[in-house]
Amino acid sequence: MGKRYSRRTTVKSLPDWKNLSLKEQVAQMVVVRASGYLFDHQIQYPAWEASAQQLQFWLQDLGVGGVILLGGSTAELALRSQQLQELAKAPLLIAADIEEGVGQRFTGA
């Protein structure tokens, strides 16, 4: 049986939709593709997956509302999810393409 880890995290509150600009409202409805790996040199499809700098811009400056993670190990996914949540203006929707099973996308799953 695997170990269970518990971590206290601070959850950002959802923004008041009425106080967002139209640009921010649209950005909140966008989900971008991102690597589940922690470092840019690990990205498997550079033409399709944003660099760390690009993701930071999308999340912090534009306020993108979600990411779909592809690739990485289970440990990396936990860290990557936390990393991306910290960059985001509001809580992120984190998704994964796993219709054929978690092991199809993530090492160690």
Mean pLDDT of the chain: 82
The answer to whether 96 touches 105, Cβ cutoff 8 Å, is yes
Residue 72 belongs to domain spanning: 20-104
Is 82 inside a domain boundary? yes
Q: How far apart are CA 2 and CA 57, in angstroms?
A: 36
Is 75 inside a domain boundary? yes
Q: Which residue has the higher pLDDT, 20 or 39?
A: 20
Give the pLDDT confidence score for residue 66 in this predicted structure: 95
Q: How far apart are CA 19 and CA 27, in angstroms?
A: 14
Residue 44 has pLDDT above 50, yes or no: yes
Is 89 inside a domain boundary? yes
Is 4 inside a domain boundary? no
Secondary structure E strands in the chain: 31-35, 66-70, 93-96
Confidence band (pLDDT; 50, 70, 90) for 85? very high
Residue 1 has pLDDT above 50, yes or no: no
For the chain, the domain total comes to 1
Is 15 inside a domain boundary? no
